Structure formats: structure tokens, C-alpha cells
Structure 1
């Protein structure tokens, strides 16, 4: 029916849309609470996507395989929208299956895959990986949750992806915040989420509202054009999340290194205290991911009569490897401080994930409660 609309009428309709008008509304994942509608404006949406595409290096004619659903920022903005803005080829994939993804990469010469770490972990875990040609892959853009350094190394060496970039963001700031460059040193890409996007401020804030110096962990706060217009029909939640100075409180713990790169330690709600020591699951997961038999790992705090809380690790092993609970705990004691070591390990064939590819730790905790 578009042919029935004249050019003049189309121009008149376009003229009614302003840069600050509502462009879209994506919902938060709900992994840390009830999903909320995040309102985003036209100008901030397009400006954020353009800045992101420039930093990570999306090119005209890239073939982008988009696995995350289109209700998620990785699928919608880093997939469909960036393809339109850069003249790339948008190839959506309905449901995640590691074997099918590897097959499409080989047959359709995919050059870019954006998505959370679970996508690449699954590809690396596939027993038939060596049979697929992944040489067309030049760029992987990941983030959305903690990235184990060993995963970046394996993506380069086993999948053959020369450009691996990691970043940090959340739905409330359009999915963006900080990002590495493909030209950054491996240790920066593996261990940090890079620097703030142009025109964006990212700081580390203490509980009392003061900013912390480099190297000191605290809550990550973000200010600038990428911060949402607010939560749909929820002014109270908006006021709790964006303070009077315009800082978006992310609920994530992080710190900056001396070069200004952000390092994410985990979520405030995930932290647990063992014998008076603060334990950040993301840090412990990064260390455990270096174990030669561990493919995927999630750590949560569980009650303990003596220490208050201790860590429990849920592990998916790499294909063709084996490790017992004792093996992993003994390795932990040799490779991290004693208070960080998980006191129990459960080996599983898979872990529960959200449609966006994040491990849903609430489901792990619910299983634990049910068993208790």
C-alpha cells in the first residue's frame, strides 16, 4: 500500500518526527528483576549505532550473522540496524544451534558475528568444529556479560577470528557504553571492556556517591547522550536508576586500569561474602575458565554455617575432557586465593540461559533451594 502515499505526504509525515521523539522501546532481560521497557529516542539511537559500528570496524558488504533475537540490542541494533546504516548483509538465524551456526558460517561465508559469549562458547564446544571452514570470519563482537580471557584466545586460535572485540553496555544505555578496538593489544581485549564511547562519561562510584580512583572497584555509572529517556510508565524505577546529576547506575561492579580501560568484576547483587572477604563471581569465573577441562562456568554464593557464604561452581566440560569436583577444587586452590575457591562443584551437560545467551543464575539458585 506504500504506492498510495505521495512523496509530499511522506515528507510531511517525516517532518513530524523530531530527534528526541521516541524511536523504540526494548525490554530489559529480566535476569535481575521484572523486565522494564527502556525508552530510546531517534537521534541517540542512530548516533550510538554509528559510533559503535565505527569503533568495532563494520564494513560495507560485511555478511553479519545475527543470532540473538531482534528484541535484544545485539540482534536489533548491532545486527539489523547496523546493516542498514553500513550497507552490510543482514542474515538472521532463528534459533541457536552450534552445529547449524558453523554450517552457515562455512556455506554463506559469514564475516561478522555479534553476540554474547555463550554463542562462541557453544561453537568451540561443538565436537565437529574441525570439519567446518570458518576462514571467512574476520570479526567477532561480544560482550553482554563477563568475558573469560581464555575465550578470546580460543576464538582467535580455534575459530580463526583475527578481530575479536569486547565491550560493555546495557539496555538502559542502548546496549553501548565502552568498547575495545580490534587493534588493541590482546591483553586489553581479553581483560577489559575498553574505553568509553565518544561523548560518553563512565566513572566508578562508591556507596557514598564519591568517585573512586583508578584501580578501586565500585559501581559503574554512565552519563551522556546514550542514557535512556526512562522506563516506560515507571517514573519511580527511572528515578532510582538515573540520579539527579544524570548518572545511570548500572548495578555492575568495575574499575579502571591505568590506561583508562574498564574492567567489569560482576553485578552488585551477585557478590557474596566469605569469612568477611568480598567475592565477585565474575572474577572467579575468569580464573576457572583457564582450567584446561572447563568450557563454561557459572559461580554463585551459597549459605555456609561457618563462613556465611561460600562459592559453588556449575561447570560444563570441554568435549573430550574429564575432571572431577576434587580435581577442579584442587586446581582452584593452586591458582587463586583460598577465600575465592569454590567449596563445591557441580558438573552439568548445560547451564540455563536466557534468550540473549546469558546464564540465568536465579535458576541455578532455585535448583539449589529446591534440592535443599
Structure 2
């Protein structure tokens, strides 16, 4: 099925689901519950309210809040009115948010107080002339500095007929822009990735069908909604197939175990750290996890032992891995049901339908199977470009439609893609290219190492060498000498980290990406080990 042609727009998914699944549970947010029929009614209210607020087709609207029912309804209201959602990272500070709102030309901003932040108050202090502050809505908790509380926002649209909302949804097409997803900034200044309704529906409708999402499932959504992992692979994919969605505001392993047990959660997607925390939780055995069925974990570094533990300790039947970046609608390749644990751990699987991957050298020429090169992607999933940034767009997507990802990878004889590293993270040891992600995978073969991050640091003799930041598995002890000795036995000499630092946790952003810039700043601090 072509889900973009079948559903046409993200709000229309809710209308179809309301007819198909009616009074079945659609959304569970703490103690609050909505059926699919009720979710459609709330969406219609939100669309009418967005129109009353002044949202018109093509308008950009910022959305800064934790995973919640209100986030979903605000997004659907904006999109249903023809607007474009600009999801905002809740870990960003006011000046970072202000930059995105200005760059996108946002007309309004929806936000909530979260993690001790009143985002709208902080924006008013940091950038009082910001155009988006002319229309502000608080969508969770107290009104704070916002112009309207959530209920006041809804009341403003009550005079309009529901037909107003349905007429607006009917006008939406798969080619209309649904959101501008700003990159996290880990690769430089955030850039706004333009994506359409059709791209998201086509990619994640297919993915969730491939992953066997079904009406009887419940999905605990931990990745943040401001990222495609939580938004598109999360609540959008679920609602297409009648899956009950359960948003989690912030991840806590103990709380997640309680929800899995109570709500009989069957789907859980997320980065490897989430599953490691669940496996290692001291009270895990007190909870019934037998309902868990489907999982996908992304990232370049997934130890095979974790895949086995997810099946044996967490009861998953299906464990997948995948690869994508925001510029590719965050989905390029995925493993398939029946792939071996080795394939899931060591590769990101094969390309999704109607998408191409090519591995090229520095001259842009395709390299043979099994050789490393830059990953290029072409297909319907590739962004239309960066918002209001034609130079960056031209640098990322060439005249042939190929997206230059900046990732280094290789294809095997079956077409499975392995991501070796980011080109920018590569460092050179005495003339040899060293890829941190590859070294991290090798380090995770040591049973005492739970998490690993490697960076290149200056060295007087070799130019650069590796520094490994390690989290030791509970119940194990390691010294720097132990790690170096083990590495010399298990990897080529130039890959062996010359420095080792032991940490309680690796620094990560809200999307669970390791913040290697922070590690680079800290690497020279003396080790206590």
C-alpha cells in the first residue's frame, strides 16, 4: 500500500482511524484516556482553535513541550489548519529556540513549562521582539507568560462548525509541507529540514506494517516528539494501524517498567541506552514484561549481547535496527523480520522500498561492495531542502537528487548497510583512518564495558590517537591498563585507544546522541583510574 496516496495527510489519518477503530483506546497519557473517536473530536477542536488564533496555510508554528496528548493535538491542530509544525527541542535554551523561530519565520509558538523552564517567559526576556511571541499558547500546566491557556485557546474556536476543520483537512495534499524539523546542532548551526505529509506517511506507514504493528498493540513512546523517532516512528505510525499510544515525558527505567506491566505494552522503540537501563534495573524481575513484542533500536553501536538480552530478559519477539537522518525523513534502511542477531547488531539492514543507497569515495565514484565510503541516499524520502537556505541545500543534495549524508558506511553482499562513522568524527592515527563507531563496537565486545564513546585527540608522534570514555557494567572493575591490553588483543594497533576515561554516564542530548563535543573539551582532564 502507498500510505501517502491512501491517507494524503497526517490529520486525515485520525479521521480514518476514528471510523475504523471507533471506541478502542487511542491515547493514554498518565490517568487520561481517549478513544479514536474522541481523539478525532479533540483534533477538530484544535483545528478550529488554530484557525481562530490566525494560523493560515503555510504558516510556521513553533511547538515546545514534552511528549504528551497536548503535543499531538497541537500538532494536528496546526497541520489541520494548513500550518507547518516546527518542533522545538525541550533541552534548548531560549536563545537557541529564538534562533529557530526566527529562521523559520514562525507566526506563533505553543509551549509548556517543563524541567523548570517557562519557555515563553524566557523567550520574552531573551528576544522580546520575536514575531512568534505575538501569539503564544500554553499547552500543559499553568498559563505562565503565555497569552492563552490551553482551554482558552480551544474556547476561541468553539463558534466555528466542525465542517470548517474537515474542509481544511480535505484541502491538504501529500505534497504539502507538514513540518520543518531543525537538526540538533551536533553538526553545526541548526538547519530546518523541510518534510511533507506524503513523505512521512509513505515511510512510516510502510515501516510500521513491516514491523507488524497491529490494532491490539500498545506503544510506550519514549523518544521525544521533537524528533522523528518519537513523532513519526512513534505516534504517527501507531495511529495509522490502530495502536494505542502512551507518551512518556522523560525516561525513567523504573517508571517505564511499571507502565509496561500495567498497560501491557507490546511495542518499544528507542536508542540502546533505554534497553540497557531496563535490562540492568534491579527491580526488573518484579514486573511482568511478557507483553513486549516488537522493538527497534537505532544507532551505530549496538552490542550483540544487548540484542540477546532484549529477547531473553525483556521478552521481545522481534528486535530490529534501522538507519536514517532527518534529511531522509529519518528512515533509509532497516533490518527485516528473520534477520540474524548478528545482522541486527552489525548492520542497519537494507534500503526501504523505492529508495536507493550508494557508497562513494571522495571523488564521488561508487566503491566496490565491502569498501568504506560516504553514504548517499536518493528517493522520495529525501528532504525538499533546508528552510530558507539554498546554499546548504545545494551542498547536501546534488543535481542528481542524491543526499550526501556525511556518514561513512559500507554495503555487504546482501545489501545490508553498516554505518562506520560520521566523516567529521574520523581521526587519523599515523596515516591510518580510525572510525570511532567501529572502535566503540569492538570495545563493547568486552563483557565489562556497558557503554563506550571514542574521540580522536592530539598526539605529538602519531598526529591523533583515540581516547575512550567508558561506562563499566555493574559488578565489574576495569583499569586503563586492562582496557588497553584487551584492545591490543582484539583490534588493530592503530585502533587501540591510547587514553581511557571512566565515567558514570556518557553525556547525551534529548535524542540520546552522545555529545562528543563535550567529550573533546573534557578529554585532557586527569583520570582517577
Q: Per-residue CA shift, 1:76-113, capped at 9, x if unaligned?
A: 00111011111001001011122222222222221111
CA gap 1:104/1:11 in 2 versus in 1, 3 angstroms? closer
5 Å matches for 1:1-372? 1=45, 4-6=159-161, 9-368=164-523
Q: Per-residue CA shift, 1:326-348, capped at 9, x if unaligned?
A: 11111111111111111111111
Question: What TM-score comes out, normalization by structure 2 length?
Answer: 0.68
SS at match of 2:523: helix
CA displacement at 1:146 relative to structure 2:
3.0
Q: Which residue of 1 aligns with 2:133?
A: none
CA gap 1:14/1:129 in 2 versus in 1, 3 angstroms? closer
Structure 2 spans left out of the alignment, 5+ residues? 1-44, 49-157
**In structure 1, C-alpha distance between the alignment counterparts of 2:279 and 2:455, rounded to whole Å:** 24
1:200–1:225 Cα contact (<8 Å) kept? yes
CA displacement at 1:286 relative to structure 2:
0.6
Q: Displaced runs of 4+ in structure 1, greater than 6 A?
A: none
Q: Per-residue CA shift, 1:37-76, capped at 9, x if unaligned?
A: 1111111111111111122222222110111111011110
**In structure 2, C-alpha distance between the alignment counterparts of 1:338 and 1:66, rounded to whole Å:** 42
Q: Which has the larger radius of gyration?
A: 2
CA displacement at 1:371 relative to structure 2:
7.0
Structure 1 spans left out of the alignment, 5+ residues? none
Q: What is the CA RMSD across the aligned residues, in angstroms?
A: 1.8
**In structure 2, C-alpha distance between the alignment counterparts of 1:31 and 1:106, rounded to whole Å:** 36
User: How many residue pairs align between the two structures?
Assistant: 372
Higher relative CO (CA 8 A, sep ≥ 6), structure 1 or 2? 1
1:316–1:349 Cα contact (<8 Å) kept? yes
CA displacement at 1:11 relative to structure 2:
4.7
1:293–1:317 Cα contact (<8 Å) kept? yes
Question: What TM-score comes out, normalization by structure 1 length?
Answer: 0.95
CA displacement at 1:368 relative to structure 2:
2.5
2:467–2:523 Cα contact (<8 Å) kept? no
CA displacement at 1:277 relative to structure 2:
0.8
